[in-house]
């Protein structure tokens, strides 16, 4: 019997048709795995600002200070990872391929709701590893809603099982997220300017200072150290697409 036809433009259905599935780990005890934290996103005057520190840890060991935790999936969507980098990077590669496969096969970009569901599906496919305590990922997703006029960037956060929620103002994930959310909530309620009214320079400075404070209370969060030329991964999504903040721009924002 021939296999069922693949749903047009569905990369994950294509994988299923060829019986390609995520690996399953069977272990009596979870190894000490590498973890990546902390990431957050907030609305500012020109769109959505996304930030991530660059530290990865394994237990009490600092593995590296050069992880890129904010990943461009396509020209209008960003994935900010918190959890196990190996699993998260594989998810990102699969989503990048899925989005591009759809664009080429259907001659149009995947809609924002479909992208949001695709990440939810990837997290559900990772349920086996999550339940075993390895491969846990709790990401943030930022995408551009082209159905709105003008186009509007949106923030979504997920739990490790794939449940998705839209964040009205901001969201954070990772081991330093409690501190980050507290700072964002305080700025949203009492700050001047509020995050939504910040310029790009103000948002850059605010994000870097937030990571500095988070690093004070969480050893897994990599601090920002301008004197050592150590900064964060900062990107923002606006109506014209994604832009990455350079080290020079970050240093100038703190000066």
Tokens coding 161: 């099982």
Please write the tens of the pLDDT for every residue from 67-78.
Answer: 999 999 999 999
pTM to 2 decimal places: 0.86
Flag whether pLDDT at 28 surpasses 60.
Answer: no
The arithmetic mean of pLDDT across residues 22-42, rounded, is 66
Flag whether pLDDT at 27 surpasses 50.
Answer: no
The yes-or-no answer on residue 246 being catalytic is no
Tokens coding 6: 């693949």
Q: Quick check: 63 and 56 in contact, CB under 8 A?
A: yes
Exactly one of 6, 37, 76, 97 is catalytic; which is it? 37
The arithmetic mean of pLDDT across residues 91-106, rounded, is 96
Please write the tens of the pLDDT for every residue from 183-220.
Answer: 999 999 999 999 999 999 999 999 999 999 999 999 99
The arithmetic mean of pLDDT across residues 110-126, rounded, is 95
Domains of the chain: 33-254 (3.60.20.10)
- How would you classify residue 83: left for phi > 0, otherwise alpha for psi between -120 and 50, otherwise beta? left
The arithmetic mean of pLDDT across residues 231-235, rounded, is 97
Q: Quick check: 15 and 93 in contact, CB under 8 A?
A: no
* Contacts (Cβ under 8 Å, ≥6 apart) of 52: 38, 39, 40, 68, 69, 70, 80, 81, 232, 233
* Burial of 121: CB neighbours in 10 Å, binned 0-12, 13-18, 19+: middle
């Amino acid at each position: 019997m021939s296999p069922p036809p693949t749903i047009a433009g569905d990369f994950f259905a294509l994988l299923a048709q060829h019986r390609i599935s995520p690996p399953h780990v069977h272990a009596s005890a979870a190894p000490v795995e590498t973890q990546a934290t902390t990431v957050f996103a907030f609305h500012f005057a020109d769109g959505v600002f996304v930030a991530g520190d660059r530290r990865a840890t394994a237990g009490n060991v600092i593995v590296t200070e050069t992880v890129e935790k904010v990943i461009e999936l396509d020209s209008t969507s960003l994935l900010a990872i918190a959890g196990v980098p190996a699993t998260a990077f594989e998810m990102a590669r699969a989503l990048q391929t899925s989005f591009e496969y759809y664009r080429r096969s259907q001659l149009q970009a995947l809609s924002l709701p479909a992208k949001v569901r695709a990440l939810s599906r990837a997290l559900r496919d990772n349920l086996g590893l999550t339940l075993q305590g390895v491969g846990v990922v709790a990401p943030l997703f930022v995408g551009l809603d082209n159905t709105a006029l003008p186009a509007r960037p949106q923030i979504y956060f997920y739990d490790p099982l794939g449940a998705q929620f839209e964040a009205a103002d901001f969201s954070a994930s990772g081991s330093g997220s409690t501190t980050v959310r507290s700072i964002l909530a305080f700025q949203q309620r009492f700050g001047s300017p509020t995050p939504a009214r910040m310029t790009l320079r103000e948002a850059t400075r605010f994000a870097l200072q937030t990571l500095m404070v988070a690093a004070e209370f969480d050893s897994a969060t990599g601090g920002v150290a301008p004197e050592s030329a150590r900064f964060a991964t900062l990107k923002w999504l606006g109506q014209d697409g994604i832009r990455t903040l350079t080290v020079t721009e970050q240093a100038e924002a703190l000066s």
